[in-house]
Amino acid sequence: MEACKGSLCCIYGISILITSIVLITVYIPVLRVMQYPQFKKYFAYRLLSLLGLCDCVMLVSHFIASISLATQYTLPFALNKILGSIFFSAWTTLMIVSTAVFVNRLSVVVFHQYSQYIFSETNNKLIFASIFLAFLTTLVLLLLPEFDYMYNPHLLIWVPSTNQKVIQNLIRYKNILMFTTVLTGAVCYALIIVFVLTTVRGRKTKFDKAVTLQVSFNLIWTISNYIYWSFIHPSLFQYTLTARFVASWFWTFSNGVNPFIYLVVNKALRARVISFVRRKPEVIRTVTVFTAKTSPSKNTSLQR
């Protein structure tokens, strides 16, 4: 496998470094606004906040890895092992949270009459506890001596353990988790699209069109990601350095794409974020849930 050398490493590293900084800078105010009472009261926003936290943890990991790439400095073993363990654990949690968001959006949009029972306060606490347990379990396992998942700045890839059995189990686990997440998302989004198209019956409002467009984009994005990482990426990154850089940059971008989608389609959140950045009081009258990995919920009026 071709190794990265000279000024090319610096260019690749700085590109990913700048990308991760920009994405984190955009993500932070969005996550901060999601903690406001008018948003946090909805379980969907609490899930999105957790999803965003996972994204930011991975973006910070990309940031550190990009410095290692630009300087061609291999991180000390202990630090690299901890970084890789946190990175992979955050990815695992991201997949689980995404699945929870998919099901939540389906229940709210299609089965809204049962959503308050499916996502009761007790069930919500159990979901969060399960997510935390999954993160903690993955982190502890990866910190064991026989597990290693570290960044190689010379090859531009995250390298699993040299133990072949561990590698096989890790790859199998990753593929099963990714397939389950994508399949759940595809089924949920397909059902939401059918529901929106069949229940409106010609009375297409701007909101209905936005729902259909957003969900269609989500479905295409989710499936495209799975196809790339499962079939295209494995056959490309082994042969060309450029393909590995594109994969690293794309992974970084994928972890930070959500806030841009939120700000484009979610008027209430956008207004609150602008108010937060400008430090001006803002009256929020409507809350609408949108996400790059989920579908939007119905409008809910809120008076301050």
**pLDDT, averaged across the chain:** 81
pLDDT at 304: 31
Which stretch of 51-65, 176-190, 206-220, 274-288 has the lowest confidence by average pLDDT? 206-220
Strands (E), the chain: 149-152, 157-160, 286-287, 300-301
In a domain, 54, yes or no: yes
Quote the domain boundaries for residue 98: 7-301
Whether the per-residue pLDDT at 139 is higher than 80: the answer is: yes
pLDDT at 230: 76
In a domain, 279, yes or no: yes
| CA–CA separation, 108 and 298 (whole Å) | 8
**Two structure tokens written together for 80:** 């690299």
301 pLDDT band, cuts 50/70/90, is: very low
Give the mean model confidence (pLDDT) for residues 224-248.
78
**In one letter, which amino acid is 110?**
V
Alpha carbon distances (Å) from 173 to 177, 214, 273 = 6, 30, 38
The answer to whether 246 and 229 have CB atoms below 8 angstroms apart is no
- Between 146 and 94, whose confidence is greater? 94
In a domain, 2, yes or no: no
| CA–CA separation, 280 and 286 (whole Å) | 18
Give the mean model confidence (pLDDT) for residues 117-146.
91
pLDDT at 297: 41
Whether the per-residue pLDDT at 207 is higher than 60: the answer is: no
pLDDT at 174: 83
Whether the per-residue pLDDT at 148 is higher than 70: the answer is: yes
53 pLDDT band, cuts 50/70/90, is: very high
Whether the per-residue pLDDT at 135 is higher than 90: the answer is: yes
Alpha carbon distances (Å) from 11 to 8, 60, 66, 70, 256 = 5, 19, 10, 7, 21
In a domain, 1, yes or no: no
- Between 258 and 219, whose confidence is greater? 258
In a domain, 294, yes or no: yes
285 pLDDT band, cuts 50/70/90, is: very low
Q: How would you class 207 by CB atoms within 10 Å of its CB: exposed for 0-12, middle for 13-18, buried for 19 or more? A: middle
290 pLDDT band, cuts 50/70/90, is: very low
pLDDT at 133: 95
**In one letter, which amino acid is 287?**
V
Q: Among residues 253, 215, 218, 251, which one has the least CA distance to residue 233?
A: 251
Number of domains comprising the chain: 1
pLDDT one-digit tens code per residue, 66-113? 999 999 898 999 999 999 999 999 999 999 998 998 888 888 888 888
- Between 210 and 199, whose confidence is greater? 199
The answer to whether 158 and 84 have CB atoms below 8 angstroms apart is yes
| CA–CA separation, 142 and 147 (whole Å) | 5
| CA–CA separation, 288 and 227 (whole Å) | 30
Q: Give the count of beta carbons closer than 10 Å to the beta carbon of residue 136.
A: 12
Which stretch of 48-57, 98-107, 130-139 has the lowest confidence by average pLDDT? 98-107
Q: Among residues 154, 151, 158, 157, which one has the least CA distance to residue 4?
A: 154
| CA–CA separation, 160 and 148 (whole Å) | 6
How many residues are listed for the chain in this entry?
304
The answer to whether 19 and 70 have CB atoms below 8 angstroms apart is no
219 pLDDT band, cuts 50/70/90, is: low
Q: Residue written as tokens 């929106």?
A: 196
Task: Provide φ and ψ at 231, rounded to 5°.
Answer: -120, -45
- Which CATH number fits the domain that encloses residue 14? 1.20.1070.10
Q: What percentage of the chain has pLDDT greater than the value 70?
A: 82
The answer to whether 295 and 98 have CB atoms below 8 angstroms apart is no
Give the mean model confidence (pLDDT) for residues 15-25.
96
pLDDT at 227: 83
Beta-carbon contacts of residue 64 (< 8 Å; ≥ 6 apart): 75, 83
